[in-house]
Amino acid sequence: MNTLIEATTTRANPGIDPSLHIWGWEIVVYLFLGGLVAGIFVLAAALELRSGEKPRGPALRLTPFAALALLSLGMGALWLDLAHRLWAWRFYLFFHATSPMSWGAWILVLIYPVGLLLGLGSLNADQRAWLRGKTPGALATLLETFFGWADAGRRGILLTSVVMGVSLGIYTGLLLGTMPSRILWNSAVLGPLFLASGISTGAALLLLLPLDESERKTLLRWDAAAIVAELVLIALMLLGFATSGETGQWAASQFLGGPYTAVFFSCVVVLGLLVPLLLEVVEAKRHLPFATILPVLILTGGLALRWILLTAGQHSAFRFLP
Amino acid sequence: MATSRREFIQIGGAGLGAAALGSGLTTKWWGLDPDVVHDPGTDGDQVIPTFCELCFWKCGVLAHVKDGKVTKLVGNPEHPLSRGKLCPRGTGGTGLLYDPDRLKKPLLRRTGKRGAQDFEEVSWEKALDFTAEKLLKIKKVCGSDKVALFSHGFGGSFFKHLLFAYGSANVTAPSYGQCRGPREVGFNLTYGASLGSPEVLDIAHSRCLTLIGSHLGENMHNTQVQDFAQMIAKGGQLVVVDPRFSTAAGKARYWLPIRPGTDLALLLAWTHVILNEGLYDRDYVEKNATGLEELRAHVADKTPEWAFTETTIAPSTIVETARFIAGSRPASLIHPGRHVTWYGDDVQRSRAIAILNALLGSWGRRGGIFVPTQMSVPKYPVPDYSEKAKAAQDHPDGVIYPFAEEVLSHGVCDATVPGRITGKGCPIKGWIVYGSNLLQALPQRKNVEEAIQKLDLLVTIDVLPAEIVGYADVVLPEATYLERWDDISPVPWSEPYLAIRQQVVPPMYESKPGWWIAKELAKRLDLGQYFPWESGEQLVTERLKAGGHDVERLRTKGVIKGTPVPVRTDEGLELTFATPSKKIELYSKRMADAGLPPLPPYTRHEQPVDGQFRLLFGRTPTHTFGRTTNNRFLSEVYSENEVWLNAKAAKEQGLANGEVVTLVNQDGVRSQPVKLKVTQRIRPDCVFVVHGYGHTNPGLKFAKGRGMDDQTLVTRIAIDPVAGTTGMSVNFVTIEKTAGTAATDRPLSPGGAAASRAEA
Amino acid sequence: MGASSEAVRRGGAGPGDEPAGALPHRRYAMTVDTRQCVGCKACVLACKAENDVPDGFCRDWIVEEIRGEFPVLSAEIRSERCNHCTDAPCVKNCPTGASHVNEGGVVLVTHHKCSGCKACIAACPYDARFVHPEGYVDKCTFCLHRVQKGLSPACVGVCPTGTLTFGDASDPESSVAQLLRERRSKVNHPESGAGPNVHFLV
């Protein structure tokens, strides 16, 4: 008798009603590229830390620069999303410890010098010579100074790169995860999940490059680990929702029978995670390289994960609880 | 702090330092970049009092004017009708003033049938000359009584004066014959006084308020709703009789979802119980009323069990509510309603309400109906009307409605069609229409259109291109209430006061105030001596001065107040009644003498068959029917009507919430496409829409095509034999799914169905 | 951003702020009497007029809820707005310091500090914020510019039913505090944990 049967509101604010739609493709692209770049930082640095030697493939040596370019693209998308674009500099007059967005803004700035040093240090003699040839005389001393820093503190730079990569990856998830008002984002798992997905998509991107065989094998192994981690984290997220109160159960239901079930499980879980994982196992056992299909599936899955979570999350507010 | 800056740069990496520096720069630390309380700057340089015209209640407003623009309107705290508060419409006056669709210049019909949008913009000179010429011709050929004025709104007074001077008594408004007429007649017959507008109800002090189809809160008359809320705040209780779960029903102790058309059965049964159980106010009735024994005999067989079969209200509920209502007397008020033209026996139903109030002793009592007082302002000296006005021409079929106190618009409309008028041949030839959209206000649209096509002259004086404007020969654009002076007129109320309508900003475009239009017409009709004032301002100030009133205070504060007098018995009022017997006439000898039932008889009205629904219509708080539906500001919260249909009935009909449907009435007349609101809030044998939508005039660029017009479907009427008023809730519709879409999902279409969620 | 029309005040909270006590300790709050509200929307329109809210947007709104089944029904009507939460997620999530806590705990946005990143919109449990067409995020201000002049918020001032009461909840003598003591009340979505300060009297 006491069930709510009719609810009407006079509010129809653009972007807010009938359900929140403030963030669109720009943020999806940004979250995706941010994760990807985070992954590249972690992987590139970890590969070198592990082997103790600089990347063998010439392409891999340039990845830090490519990562910075991709990050710039992502930041461009982020900037496009701002409603007050000319006021973007306001991010940099303030640091707010409780705002992931504020952390992110500063991480994005700090990652550039780190990436630059990581990249410069990766270059071999030929590449350095080429770069020196292209550098105007006035900046030549500066370049040499940078080379000096990049080589002298290599281990420190590699470790910093891992830390920065992990920070960036986790932050893209925490950005959503710290909004208690969006029931579907309200999970601490989102940070590690986005990091794992970032590492996986980063690896996928690297796998598209011409690689040294041992590097490829290592990346495949790490990617498989990242995918397993993602699966576990997704399971934990859903489990967390399903075993918590009314709001959490409603959130879980969105993926377990609700409107996002089909797209989430097909695009993210099966095509983006399980199939690539299977292919990696097959490649490892049978030595059958799936050169292009595997990375493309992973990248698509990573993009889908962010797109679905961003959309579903915006549609999950307290007011939609039954 | 300066050192900390240096330290930061030294310690952390450059980035972290920058972050900290940035944080510091922000700088609550240094006070360079403080938080701000933004002032939207809508306070006026000038604040000018006037009173509202978004509806007809006349609440005092304060207009904030900044750089020559009205920035906002707020309630005048000194005004007895607004008490500093406003209904949503009051705030929305700016939406009328700055409506881009306003009539901007006088228009003259070029060619074509009335209704064809073929006008040319002309000078005032030309428009007025044309109008006067036609009026003079009608007077010469057919007589001055062949012109009628339909007038709704405060500014109409100048045109009423003009018409009387011209020599016609055909001054009418649908607000009587299509709205509150039967109530006034019913109360007049019973008490010798009617209720007027604003209604003289002391709801604030009621302990029990009974609403019969009256939906306070949706019907948003400011003071009345203020009182209503005060009553609730003090613990007053509501009994709501309504086929629809109205806003008021949602607050009621008892909601009686009555079968439409049977209210009189319930009223008689309540009377039966109250008399039978001796719950009435014996002393009051003995002292003040006549005809109790006849009433007792009349309701002897009107038992709750009998009423149940008519009303579908359980006998036990009828008994319980009767006891509850009587238990709260005398501060127990049966609300007389406002729009009461429903089924054709509306005077009798109003009589039953009046009688019940008498049994409760609520007339003249605290929490009941008060006896108003008013200030006086001397008339401006003008000559007597030279032309002796003949009887109004509103009885074309020869039937005289003995108790009609005002001219019937519907009758005037009939008297315009040749052949219908009895006696001498000439039908009405000219209509002057002031602020009344007759095509949405009068029933039987076909008749109205036929009458319009027979006219020699149709003049409209309006602010917006309502449908009737599209049928005019001459369109005279009036300035809005914020741009003009109107006459001064005391309002009967519980405290005596005078309020002023003065110009807040100069008229926009080429619009002119009503006093100017009437005066200019009068000049051309050789009636200039009736309009001796130079301006509205002069007229008002002279009258006020002649009455010894404080003009300056009125101009600056908007209100002056007189000496209070008792308006209720607890304040010392002695009850008197202006009836032939000088008492409350429970039994009406006057009606008996006129061959009408002297006590309200119950008439069983036709009910819809399966698949049909009775069409009911009403109000939304944000609009004054079609008058405001083009107001973009008000439409921010309600922009189109929707048809309410019971959820179970919808299921049977295979209809879903939000679907676009067409209503088809018993005569095959179709409505515009309209959205369906499937709801638990209404009985399954009727549908409900908000009146005033479905505009067709292309000049109403915002409102055109939004929602449906209910009046188009009122092709059947039930004329009240007592007052000649037209019962209109006697039309039945079926519901068809509409292929295509209604004019929905426009940029400004919040609220209602658009935002409504789940439907069980 | 015409500086002339802005009353400039220091913020009342936030890191590195001036010591508390520079401003009187007030806790502005509102009560909404659902028994009295008829959902007429006078509050919505008065707010729009007072604050020059752009077409198509609103800072306050009316929610109507119907429960039950014909003919046994109940209704609740609420006038809703920003809750000026004690622990406001929007302020916490603002990266530029535009969203801040002002006098009496009123949550405001400084227009020229806002980059329009919309993090605060996503963070708000009540969806009370929106992006103003001029690019900054906007919402109910409790009409602090009026309150500072000793006036009531526009919605409270206009309300014909006396549904809305505004005042300092920390002052036991205030009508708001009295109503909260004497009447049963609730808040929207208490599970948000934000500590809303708009209370609905039932």
Tens-digit pLDDT profile for residues C30-71: 999 999 999 999 999 999 999 999 999 999 999 999 999 999
Lowest mean pLDDT segment, chosen from A25-29, A185-189, B129-133:
A185-189
Structural contact between residues C95 and A91, judged by C-beta atoms closer than 8 angstroms: yes
Q: What is the pLDDT of residue A186?
A: 86
Q: What is the DSSP string of B610-643?
A: TT-EEEEEE--TT--GGGTTT-TTGGGT--S-EE
Distance in angstroms (rounded) separating the CA atoms of residues B430 and B440 = 20
Cβ under 8 Å to A: B residues 667-686 = 679-681
Domain count, chain B: 4
> Would you state the pLDDT for residue A153?
86
- Tokens encoding B150: 């339909």
CB half-sphere exposure, C139, CA atoms < 13 A: 27
Contact call for residues B210 and B334 (beta carbons, < 8 A): yes
Within-domain flag for B382: no
What is chain C's length? 202
Dmax (CA) for chain A in angstroms is 82
Domain assignment present for B32: yes
- To which residue do tokens 């991480």 refer? A107
A322 has pLDDT over 90 = no
- Reading phi first (left if > 0) and then psi (alpha if -120 to 50, else beta), residue B552 is in alpha
A3 to chain B, any CB pair closer than 8 A? The answer is: yes
Which of B33, B755, B757 lies at the smallest CB-CB distance from A12? B755
Contacts of C111 in chain B (CB under 8 A): 36, 38
Q: For residues A303 and A291, what is the distance between their CA atoms, to the nearest angstrom?
A: 20
Q: What is the pLDDT of residues A288-310, one digit of tens each?
A: 666 688 899 999 999 999 999 99
Q: Which residue has the tokens 């169905």?
A: B753
Between CA A91 and CA B176 the distance in angstroms is 65
pLDDT the model gives residue A5: 84
CATH number assigned to the domain comprising residue B714: 2.40.40.20
Strand bridging mode C137-138 / C6-8 = unpaired
Q: Is B114 within the bounds of a domain?
A: no
Q: Is residue B386 less than 8 Å (CB to CB) from chain A? A: no
- A11 at B interface, C-beta within 8 A: yes
Chain A residues touching B20 at Cβ < 8 A? 95
Closest approach of chain A CAs to the CA of C172, in angstroms? 31
Is any Cβ of chain A less than 8 angstroms from the Cβ of C24?
Answer: no
Q: How many CB atoms lie within 10 A of CB B382?
A: 13
Residue B172 β-bridge partners: B150, B407
Maximum CA pair distance of chain C?
Answer: 59
Say if residue C93's pLDDT is above 60.
Answer: yes
Contact predicate A235/A217, CB 8 Å: no
Taking every pair of Cα atoms in chain B, the longest distance, rounded to a whole number of angstroms, is 108
Residue B132 lies in a domain: no
> Which phi and psi angles does B289 have, rounded to 5°?
-120, 155
**Residue B228 and residue B342 in one domain:** yes
The range of the structural domain enclosing residue B10 comes to 1-36
Q: Do C42 and B247 touch (CB under 8 A)?
A: no
Name the residue of chain C whose CA is nearest to A96's CA: C95
Strands of chain A, DSSP E: 4-9
Interface B:C, Cβ pairs < 8 A: 204
CA B682 to chain centre: 23
Least Cα separation, residue B727 to chain C (angstroms)? 27
- Judged by a CB distance cut-off of 8 A, whether residue B34 touches chain C is yes
- Tell me: do B8 and B51 sit in the same domain: no
Please give the distance of CA B608 from its chain centroid, rounded to a whole number: 28
Shortest CA distance from C129: residue in chain A? A16
B588 and B687 part of one domain: no
Question: Which ranges of chain B have pLDDT less than 50?
Answer: 1-27, 742-760
Tell me: do B621 and B729 sit in the same domain.
yes
Rounded to the nearest 10°, the torsion over CA A284, A288, A293, A296 is 30
Asked if B619 and B735 sit in the same domain, the reply is: yes
Other C-beta atoms within 10 Å of B552: how many? 11
Structural domain ending residue among the three candidates B558, B593, B628: B593
Torsion of CA B113, B114, B118, B123, to 10 degrees: 130
Domain assignments of chain A as residue spans, ordered by start: 25-83+92-320
Q: What is the pLDDT of residue B759?
A: 32
Q: Are residues B263 and B312 in the same domain?
A: yes
Give the per-residue pLDDT at B27: 47
What H or E segment, with its residue span, contains residue A306? Answer: helix A293-314
pLDDT of residue B399: 78
Task: Give the chain C residue nearest B680 (alpha carbons).
Answer: C70
Q: Which of B101, B120, B98 is nearest to B109 (CA)?
A: B120
The rounded distance, in Å, linking the Cα atoms of B252 and B271 is 21
Secondary structure of residue A27 in the 3-state scheme:
helix
Specify the DSSP element, H or E, that contains B653: helix B647-653
Domain presence at residue B55: yes
Alpha-carbon distance B100 to B699, whole Å?
A: 10
CATH topology of domain A25-83+92-320: Formate dehydrogenase/DMSO reductase fold (1.20.1630)
Residues 6+ apart with CB under 8 A from B423: none
Token duo for residue B600: 């309200």
Angle in degrees, CA B150, B156, B158, rounded to 5: 120
Residue A48 tokens, joined: 């070198």
Confidence of residue C196 (pLDDT cuts 50, 70, 90): very high
Decide: A279 and A292 in contact? Cβ < 8 Å.
Answer: no
* Ordered domains of chain C (ranges, CATH): 24-201 (3.30.70.20)
B716-to-A265, B401, B665, C149 alpha-carbon distances in Å = 60, 19, 10, 58
Chains A, C: CB pairs < 8 Å? 175
Residues 6 or more apart whose Cβ sits within 8 Å of residue A53? none
For residue A247, pLDDT over 50 is answered with yes
Quick one: which H or E segment has residue B109? strand B107-109
ipTM higher than threshold 0.90: yes
Which chains are within 8 Å of B by 3+ CB pairs? A, C
In this complex, do C57 and A14 lie within 8 Å of one another by their Cβ atoms? yes
Query: Is there a single domain that holds both residue B93 and residue B214?
Result: no
pLDDT digits (tens, 9 = 90+) for C122-174: 999 999 999 999 999 999 999 999 999 999 999 999 999 999 999 999 999 99
Contact C145, C135 (CB under 8 A): no
Picking from A3, A96, A106, the nearest residue to B15 by CB comes out as: A106
Give B559's strand partners: B499
Structural element, H or E, at residue C181: helix C175-182
Chain A contacts of C71, Cβ < 8 Å?
none
Residue B725 contacts residue B402 (beta carbons within 8 Å): no
Chain A from 147 to 176: CB within 8 A of any C CB: 175-176
Structure tokens at A20: 């929140």
Which carries the bigger pLDDT value, residue A17 or residue B745? A17
Query: Are B721 and B596 in contact, with CB atoms under 8 Å apart?
Result: yes
Q: What residues have CB less than 8 Å from A3, skipping those under 6 apart?
A: B760, C67, C68
Is A322 part of the contact surface with chain C (CB cutoff 8 Å)? no
The per-residue pLDDT for B313 is 97
Decide if B420 is inside a domain. Answer: no
How far apart are the CA of A164 and the nearest CA of chain C, in angstroms?
A: 19
Please classify residue C69 by burial: count the beta carbons closer than 10 Å to its beta carbon, then call 0-12 exposed, 13-18 middle and 19+ buried.
Answer: middle
Band of residue A229 on the pLDDT scale cut at 50, 70, 90: very high
Q: What residue in B sits closest to C107 (Cα-Cα)?
A: B37
Mutation test of the interface with chain B: which of A94, A149, A159, choosing the one with the most B Cβ atoms within 10 A? A94
* Residues contacting residue A166 through CB under 8 Å, at least 6 positions apart: A38, A42, A195
Against chain C, the chains showing at least 3 CB pairs within 8 Å are A, B
Tell me if the bond preceding B396 is cis, omega within 30° of 0: no
Residue numbers of A between 96 and 135 with CB closer than 8 Å to C: 96-102, 104-105
Contact A10 C193 (CB under 8 A): no
Tell me the C-alpha distance between B606 and A141, whole Å: 101
CB of C191 within 8 Å of any CB in chain A?
A: yes
Whether the CB-CB separation of C47 and C54 falls below 8 Å is answered with: no
Alpha carbons A140 and A134: distance in angstroms, whole number: 10
Identify whether residues B695 and B659 lie together within a single domain.
yes
Residues B191-227 as b/e (b if ≥16 CB within 10 A, e otherwise) read: bbbbbebbbbbbbbbbbbbbbbbbbbbbbbbbbbbbb
For residue B710, is it within any domain?
yes
Q: Does B208 share its domain with B333?
A: yes
For residue B624, tell me if it sits in a domain. yes
CB C112 within 8 A of CB C138: no
Residue B49 in contact with residue B81, Cβ under 8 Å?
no
In which element (H, E) is residue A119 found? Answer: helix A100-122
pLDDT for C159 equals 97
Could you report how far apart the first and last alpha carbons of chain C are, in Å?
Answer: 41
Cβ contacts of A93 on chain B, cutoff 8 Å: 22, 25-26, 33
- Asked whether the beta carbons of residue B42 and residue C62 sit closer than 8 angstroms, the reply is no
- Decide if C189 touches A, using CB distance below 8 A: yes
Give the count of alpha carbons within 13 A of B604, CB side only.
Answer: 7
Choose the closest CB to A6 out of C58, C66, C126. Answer: C66
Residue found under tokens 């498989």: A224
Q: Does the beta carbon of B759 lie under 8 angstroms from any beta carbon of chain C?
A: no
Q: Quick one: pLDDT at residue B28? A: 52
The β-bridge partners of B432 are B149, B459
> What pLDDT score does B748 carry?
34
A293 alpha carbon, distance to own chain's centre: 20
